[in-house]
Chains A and B, each alone.
Chain A
Amino acid sequence: MRKWAGTLLALWVIAVALIVGFFYSQGSADLRGQDRQPIAFSHQRHAGELQINCLFCHRGADISPAASIPPVYVCMMCHRSLKAQTPETQKLLTYWNNKEPIPWVRLQRLPEFVRFTHQMHLNAGFKCTDCHGQVAQMTSTPRAATFEMGWCIRCHQRNGASKDCFTCHY
Chain B
Amino acid sequence: MVEYRDQNAPPGGPYRWGMVIDLDRCTGCEACVVACHAENNIRISGEEEASKGRAVNWIRIERYWEGEYPNAQVKFMPVLCQHCGSAPCEPVCPVYASYHTPDGLNAQVYNRCVGVRYCGNNCPYTVRYFNWFEPHWDEPLNEQLNPDVTVRSVGVMEKCTFCVQRIRGAQQTAQKEGRRVKDGEVTPACVQSCPTEALVFGDRNDPNSRVSRLSKDDRGFGLLEELGTEPSITYLKRIK
Residues of A near any B CB (own CB < 8 A) = 65, 111-113, 115, 117, 119-120, 123-125, 159-162, 164-167, 169-170
Contact = CB atoms under 8 A, between A and B. Distances in A.
Interface stretch (B22-30, B61-69, B97-105, B225-233): B97-105
B171 to A, nearest CB: 10
Interface string B138-166: 00000000001111000000000100110
A162 B7 CA distance: 6
A159 B5 contact: yes
B107 interface: yes
B2 interface: yes
A161 B101 contact: no
How many chain B residues sit at the interface, stated as a range, is: 20 to 34
Contacts of B164: 166, 170
A119 B175 CA distance: 12
Contacts of B102: 164
Contacts of A161: 5-6
Contacts of B149: 170
Interface in B82-135: 99, 101-102, 105, 107, 109-112
Contacts of B101: 164-166
Contact of B165 (A123, A160, A170): A170
A138 B111 CA distance: 34
B166 to A, nearest CB: 11
Interface in B174-192: 175-176
Given A125-B1, A160-B6, A113 B161 contact: no
B158 to A, nearest CB: 10
Contacts of B161: 170
A112 B111 CA distance: 10
A112 B151 CA distance: 7
A124 B8 CA distance: 16
15 contacts: A65-B148, A112-B150, A113-B110, A113-B111, A115-B148, A115-B150, A120-B176, A123-B1, A125-B2, A159-B5, A162-B7, A164-B101, A166-B164, A169-B111, A170-B149
Given A125-B1, A165-B109, A167-B168, A113 B6 contact: no
Give the residue among A65, A111, A113, A160 with the most B Cβ atoms within 10 A.
A113
B45 interface: no
Contact of B107 (A117, A159, A162, A170): A170
B172 interface: yes
Contact of A162 (B1, B6, B105, B165): B6
Contacts of A123: 1-2, 172, 175-176
Contact of B99 (A115, A120, A162, A165): A165
A120 B109 CA distance: 22
A114 to B, nearest CB: 8
Contact of B150 (A160, A167, A170): A170
B150 A113 contact: yes
A124 B2 contact: yes
B2 to A, nearest CB: 6
Contacts of A111: 111
A115 B5 contact: no
A169 B109 contact: yes
Given A113-B110, A164-B8, A170-B168, 10 more contacts: A111-B111, A113-B150, A115-B150, A119-B172, A120-B175, A123-B1, A124-B1, A160-B6, A165-B99, A166-B164
Given A113-B110, A120-B172, A170-B149, A162 B8 contact: yes
A5 to B, nearest CB: 40
A125 B107 CA distance: 29
A170 B103 CA distance: 15
A152 to B, nearest CB: 13
